[in-house]
Amino acid sequence: MSDSLTRREFLGAASTLAAGAALTPDMVSGRSAAAVHVRPQARQVAVASANGIRAVQLAAELMDQGVDTLDAAVEGVKIRELDPEDTSVGYGGLPNEHGVVQLDASCMHGPSRRAGAVGALEGIKTPSVVAKYVLLYTDHIMLVGKGAKEFALSYGFQEEDLLTDKSREIWLRWRANRGPDDDWLNVPAEKDLEFERHGTINCNVVNAAGDVSSVTTTSGLAWKIPGRVGDSPIIGAGQYTDNDIGAAGSTGRGESNIKVCGAFLTVEFRRRGMSPTDAALETLRRVVTTTESRLLDDQGRPKFGLSFYAVKKNGEFGAASLWSGRRYAAFDGREAALHDSAHLFERGR
């Protein structure tokens, strides 16, 4: 990763590898080694939420050029962060109830075992990059609010108005229809202003050497209480990476994911031998068991949506959602395409 490893870390990693090589049975016994162990090559893949089809394509192309896994993943999600037509991530994201866009992001770099995150960041288009800078240049993991913004500005990020004409119009129409007993006029919604109240992009990548990284970025829940932070910037919830196992991340109702540390749990299920898809399904079952009754329908099913995406160190990948009909994006080593997610519940039943 660019600038991510200090000289001390590099030398430490090198000495660890050398020590590991020196402890083969043949060397201990004094016999000549019959062969040199070569680290098996992984399948280079990138997996993301469905809105990340361009992200996985770009991440794969960059890894082909030798770009570090985290740099590749961040560059991939930046496509959405910088897109003013995307009302769920970065620039143009839907604001909180006061009309202010507050962004969240987190990332983890498998090889260096480091992480960075920002929460409730205002005025900066690319929170994923700021999160990476927290990882690179501080001994902290998370910066929030005013402090996160000041940190970004100190590294040359430009403060900008993140509320586009489109997202402002959607917010104004929501504000005008908040309740039948308030003093606001009811303004009819227009089809061209339809939107998703939830929105996030998660991207997990593994390169041909088996190194893994992950990143998640979002503008959070539309109309949220100012200062609300969901799962996206929470290490172990919005995303998690273990370079020995793989990575996982999520999109959907953040509060329900935070309670189970879903990304971490999915990676841990992988550690126990589950496939990426089965691990994601098992995490969703845990979500259901921890959901309070007010958020369950009369059949005991969640009234919200939540999805997990996972990649194994060898390049195996998968995803699962609470409800059917969800898709995810993946570059499988050959091409970028959308795939059907596994699911717990069928819609309409």
Give dist(CA 320, CA 269) in Å, integer: 14
Choosing from 69, 126, 200, 216, the catalytic residue is 200
Q: Is 289 a catalytic residue?
A: no
What is the CB neighbour count within 10 angstroms for residue 90? 28
Q: Tell me which residues are annotated as active site.
A: 200
